[in-house]
A and B are shown apart, each in its own frame.
With several copies, the nearest count.
Chain A
Amino acid sequence: MEINELKQIVEALLIATPEPLTETRFKACMGRAEPVLPLDEIIEELQAEYSASDRAFFIKEVAGGYQLVTKAEYEIFVKGLFSKSGKLRLSQAALETLAIVSYRQPVTRNDIEAIRGVSSDSSLRTLLDRKLLEIRGRDDGPGRALLYRTSIEFLQYFGLNSVKDLPKLREVEDILSEDQGELV
């Protein structure tokens, strides 16, 4: 296989890959196509091409693989993509915390940690920063712990009129239990 063809294939892979492209993954994608150069050699050629044609991105070596990233000088424009982004992006930890607050509100930090089994400080901070949660009042218990609830922004994002409109667990079970009929 020629270098130009290989360069194009690697470019397609870099565009489509959701995680850094490793040598192993590259080989798997190439299947039985032969002969194939080592990934780092192809990357080097491609990198030179991007640099010569003044592309706004380059190939970054990261976590044992390669990924397309934008050049630092475009950072001021790119960050505009993530301010009030249309899509909600959260870590698994933050999602778990959000799920517990949604269904159990109002809750204290202790309530959340009892269910998750791990400290949830930083998730709570992230969710407060993103205005998905808010602090409203204090628990009556001895510690007078802060109470967390979901915010108006949370309702708007998910198109809900009130937290009462959250899907009930029973409604989820209906959809999830489809396979039972086949056991008959």
Chain B
Amino acid sequence: MMIKPHRIDLEMFEGPLDLLLFLIKRDELNIYDIPVAQITKDFLEYVNLAKELKLHSAGDFVLMAATLMKIKARMLLPIEADGDEEIEDPRTELMNMLLEYKRYKEAAGAFSNLERVERPHYYHIPGAWDPQQEDKTAILEDIKLYDIMLTFRYLLKNYEEPVTHSVAIEEVTMSEQVGFLNGLLQAKTSLKFSSLLEQFESRLIVVVTFLAILEMLRGRQIKVKQTKLFDDLLLSRGAEFGN
């Protein structure tokens, strides 16, 4: 099935799990026995598109792509009958994730229905200010911790130390981040993705770095290992490292 994904298609999905569920349904795949090679190929097509489109959630798709490739690799390994230890299907964890996500996706649908039913009704809210009261300042209802936090943040931005808040917009390109990762991997044989994240102050850089990793992964300049789904990624040098 070689239907080229379009921008619209990709934006329909809430994330990599949603996209995988779609592929499984579209191709009538058995969730118990997912053909990993096929689904990885289809998935990567979408991910490349996400990258081109510079989607907000591209990083999450990259992570899933790495996971799929890892599962695919493990499926190719010969199964060694190693004593009476039971060998787990490398796809089990992914299957559980998909099923769990599907439950909540369905529940979201039920909430959406409730929302539609309740929408035409408006609650009576007594006047936010009490006409008997002389104080005409607005009374804020139901203050939450979040409001306290936002208020403090707002006050700090407006009244205090305005100099320290002049954050310069950082310009960062993908090729810069490729160079940066190359440099790091020259100095060290491997590095943790989480430790990379810690040094970036803006999410902009994080996303660009994600994209750089995908690029290098495709060019086999690096390898990515992950022991568990959504676990930390371990980056190391690939076959084409430095080229």
Residues of chain A at the chain B interface (Cβ within 8 Å) = 12, 14-20, 57, 60, 62, 67-73, 75, 78, 81, 87-93, 95-96, 98-100, 102-103, 113-119, 128, 131, 134-136, 151-153, 156-160, 166-172, 175-184
Within the assembled complex, what's the spacing in Å between the Cα atoms of A96 and B99?
14
Contacts of B203 in A (CB 8 A): 177, 180-181
Within the assembled complex, what's the spacing in Å between the Cα atoms of A94 and B148?
10
Given contacts A102-B111, A183-B204, 16 further A-B contacts (CB under 8 A): A16-B126, A69-B123, A81-B122, A87-B119, A89-B116, A96-B108, A98-B108, A99-B111, A103-B152, A115-B101, A116-B14, A116-B17, A156-B123, A159-B117, A169-B107, A169-B149
A115-B138 contact, Cβ under 8 Å, with A16-B123, A96-B108, A96-B155: no
B87 interface hit (Cβ, 8 Å): no
5 contacts between A and B (CB under 8 A): A68-B124, A99-B148, A170-B107, A180-B202, A181-B58
A131-B144 contact, Cβ under 8 Å, with A116-B155, A118-B16, A183-B28: yes
Within the assembled complex, what's the spacing in Å between the Cα atoms of A92 and B109?
8
A157-B118 contact, Cβ under 8 Å, with A167-B110, A172-B100: yes
Q: Which of A73, A119, A167 contacts B145 (CB 8 A)?
A: A167
B1 interface hit (Cβ, 8 Å): no
Contacts of B97 in A (CB 8 A): 115, 117
The total of chain B residues at the interface (CB under 8 A) is: 79
Of chain B, the residue at the smallest CB distance from A15 is B124
What 6 A-B pairs are tightest by C-beta distance, nearest first? Answer: A118-B15, A167-B110, A72-B120, A16-B122, A75-B120, A95-B108
Contacts of A100 in B (CB 8 A): 104, 152, 155
Total A-B Cβ pairs within 8 A:
264
**Contact residues of B between 134 and 163, Cβ < 8 Å to A:** 135, 137-153, 155-156, 159-160
- Assess the B121–A172 pair: CB atoms within 8 A: no
- Assess the A90–B127 pair: CB atoms within 8 A: no
A96-B104 contact, Cβ under 8 Å, with A91-B135, A102-B152, A184-B54: yes
Within the assembled complex, what's the spacing in Å between the Cα atoms of A168 and B148?
11
Contacts of A135 in B (CB 8 A): 144-146, 149
Within the assembled complex, what's the spacing in Å between the Cα atoms of A41 and B22?
50
Of chain A, the residue at the smallest CB distance from B61 is A118
A98-B111 contact, Cβ under 8 Å, with A115-B160, A166-B145, A172-B149: yes
- Assess the B125–A18 pair: CB atoms within 8 A: yes
The smallest beta-carbon distance between B12 and chain A, in angstroms, is 9
Contacts of B112 in A (CB 8 A): 89-90, 92, 95
The smallest beta-carbon distance between A10 and chain B, in angstroms, is 14
Within the assembled complex, what's the spacing in Å between the Cα atoms of A90 and B215?
35
Contacts of B17 in A (CB 8 A): 116-118
Within the assembled complex, what's the spacing in Å between the Cα atoms of A177 and B151?
16
Within the assembled complex, what's the spacing in Å between the Cα atoms of A170 and B108?
12
